[in-house]
Amino acid sequence: MKKINNLSFVILGIILVIFTIWSIADTSFLSLKGIEHQETLKKISECENSKTSNSFETYMTISSQVDIDWSGCDLTGIMLRYISLGNADLSNADLSGADLTGVDLRGANLSNAKLFGVDLRQADLYQVNLENAYLDGADLRDTVMEDVNLNNASLKHAYIYKTILANTEFTNVDASYANFCGQDLTKKIFHNTNLSGANLAHTKMQYTYLGSANLYETNFEESNLIGSDFSGNSLKKVNFEGSNLYSVNLKNSNLTEANLQNADLTNADLTNADLTNTKIFGADFTTAKINGANMNNADKIETSKFYKKSDVYMLQKYSNLIEENFSNSDISDMDISESIFHKIDFSNSDMSNNKMAHVDFKGSDLSYTDLTNAELLGANLSGVDLVGANLSGANLSGANLSGANLSGANLDKSKLYGADLTGAYLENVNLNEVNIKGANFSGAYMIGVVLENTDLRGVDFSGIHMPGQKFTGLDLTGINLQNASLKNTDFENSDLTNANLDSAYLNSANFKNADLTNASLKNTDLGAADLTNADLTNAKIQSSYFKNTKIDNVIIYETYSDSCFKQDFFSKVICKIKLELNPNSPPYETNYELRDNYSLRN
């Protein structure tokens, strides 16, 4: 028995040496020559051929990858996992919906780039220039952002969870509705930063500077804010419940309707602060300075604010308007197509049945607007606020909705043929009976969406965030869920024939009785998933993660699989070594080890 054990260790040692040599020799994941994604190759080829007389094939052969220039190129949806793009010029490039997981971008220029919904998990952005870049809806989990230039960047709805933020400031950044939950933001500078609606719960923000920051409805629940400076800020409807506000400067601040329940305000300075209708139950004001503070808890007196309304007769076909106010107006049944409406307030207005094809709504506010049956063919709604809007029956075919905020919107029976929803925020959106053929949802946040009677066959849901979604019994033939975050999603009895599940995060997902014939499952995280009675006929399973996965009675006729799918001891050992050596492999869930063990380079 002893000899057998010794022999086993010898074999394992040989296997380990072989894999170590292989991992050192195989550097394809760091080279452009290792790219296999055909659409990616096509877009890079078109970009390179537009900038040089050499063919792309020649470039791939002789390039040392120094001074890569992809500035201004259309690189939407490309897949470049763990590629080296250090010092590359990507200024003004469109990388929306791209999968840049683990990419080395040290020193790269991404100024003015569009990165709506981009996946930058575990990417290295050391000293990257992101000035004026759009990262709305970007996934920055475990991303290295040391000494990054974010001046005037947009990070709306970005996922800044576990991100390494060493020596990076947020001056002039729009981070509204971004998720910073649990981040260490000690002594960070948020000067002139828009943090309205942002989630900063459980963060460490000792002595953080928030001068001139927009903090409307920001969530600081149970955060550590010792010594932070909020003086003169508007903190209306901010949630400070359970937070540590020891020695915080709230002098002359507006805390109207804020939540200070159970907060520690010991030694805080509330001089001349307005706490009208503020919730202060359980708050500790020991030794706090409250001279001149307004702590009136009477019912709120409605104060009407009268804004100068713009003349609705200004709205004509081919109009060119900027910074006008049409809020709460009846402007329905009009033809205002092919117009330019920049920074216009249309909130709470009735715009139903309007003809608005190819209208440019850049920077406009369409929240809670009635757009029922509106014609919005080819309209530019990129980054536009459409919260709570009624778009039922609207035609949005070919419209640009990248980075748009559609939270709580109603798109029942609307048309989204070929629409671009890259990085859009679609939480609790009604997509009942919506036509979405050709639409691009790459990197979109789609938590709690309604998809009843919607044809999902062949739809592009790559990179979406849709945990807990129910796809029970649905026809999902040919659906693209590559790199999607789908933890706890229910696919029981669904048809996933020819589906692309490569690099998807499907931890604890339910695939009972699902048909996965011809499906692709490369680098897929299926930890603790249930594949009982699933049909994997002719499926391709490679370098995937199956820890605690239920695979009882699965059909594996002509299934291509490697050691990671097999259950014998030696296969598990080989798989373990293989996944450890390959950075582009599951599992994808991390704790805080990458951030907490990071060593500063600057």
pLDDT tens digits, one per residue of 88-116 = 999 999 998 888 989 999 999 999 999 98
Q: How confident is the model at residue 579 (pLDDT cuts 50, 70, 90)?
A: confident
Contacts of 484 (CB under 8 A, 6+ apart): 461, 462, 463, 464, 465, 466, 504, 505
pTM recorded for the entire structure: 0.71
Looking only at the bridges linking them, the beta strands covering 520-522 and 540-542 are: parallel
pLDDT tens digits, one per residue of 493-508 = 999 999 999 999 999 9
Q: How confident is the model at residue 63 (pLDDT cuts 50, 70, 90)?
A: very low
Give pLDDT, residue 593.
Answer: 65
Q: Report the C-alpha gap between 274 and 257 in whole angstroms.
A: 10
Q: Report the C-alpha gap between 539 and 529 in whole angstroms.
A: 17
Q: Above 50 in pLDDT, residue 303?
A: no
Q: Taking a C-beta distance cutoff of 8 angstroms, is the pair 511, 491 a contact?
A: yes
Classified as helix, coil or strand, 294 is strand
The token duo for 319 is 């109009």
Q: Above 50 in pLDDT, residue 29?
A: no
Q: Report the C-alpha gap between 525 and 530 in whole angstroms.
A: 12
Concatenating the DSSP letter of every residue in 13-73 gives: HHHHHHHHHHHHH--GGGSGGG---HHHHHHHHHHHHTT-SS-HHHHHHH----S-B-TT-
As to burial, measured by CB atoms within 10 angstroms (0-12 exposed, 13-18 middle, 19+ buried), residue 255 is buried
As to burial, measured by CB atoms within 10 angstroms (0-12 exposed, 13-18 middle, 19+ buried), residue 561 is middle
Residue tagged 């009477």 (tokens): 298
61: how many CB neighbours lie within 10 A of its CB? 10
Give pLDDT, residue 521.
Answer: 93
Q: Above 70 in pLDDT, residue 73?
A: yes
Specify the higher pLDDT residue, 391 or 307: 391
Give pLDDT, residue 138.
Answer: 87
What number is the average pLDDT over the span 36-56? 78
What number is the average pLDDT over the span 280-303? 72
Classified as helix, coil or strand, 579 is helix
% of the chain residues with pLDDT over 90: 51
The token duo for 37 is 């994604």
Q: Above 90 in pLDDT, residue 3?
A: no
What number is the average pLDDT over the span 224-234? 90
Q: Taking a C-beta distance cutoff of 8 angstroms, is the pair 288, 271 a contact?
A: no
pLDDT tens digits, one per residue of 116-125 = 888 898 899 9
Strands (DSSP E) found in 77-222: none
Q: How confident is the model at residue 64 (pLDDT cuts 50, 70, 90)?
A: very low
Concatenating the DSSP letter of every residue in 134-154 gives: B-TT-B-TT-B-TT-B-TT-B
Sheet with 540-542: strands ordered across: 520-522, 540-542, 560-561
Specify the higher pLDDT residue, 557 or 575: 557
Give pLDDT, residue 1.
Answer: 40
For the chain, counts of helices (H) and of strands (E): 5, 5
Q: Taking a C-beta distance cutoff of 8 angstroms, is the pair 40, 80 a contact?
A: yes
Q: Taking a C-beta distance cutoff of 8 angstroms, is the pair 520, 540 a contact?
A: yes
% of the chain residues with pLDDT over 70: 88
Q: Above 90 in pLDDT, residue 518?
A: yes
Looking only at the bridges linking them, the beta strands covering 560-561 and 340-342 are: unpaired
Q: Phi and psi dihedrals of 39, rounded to 5?
A: -65, -35
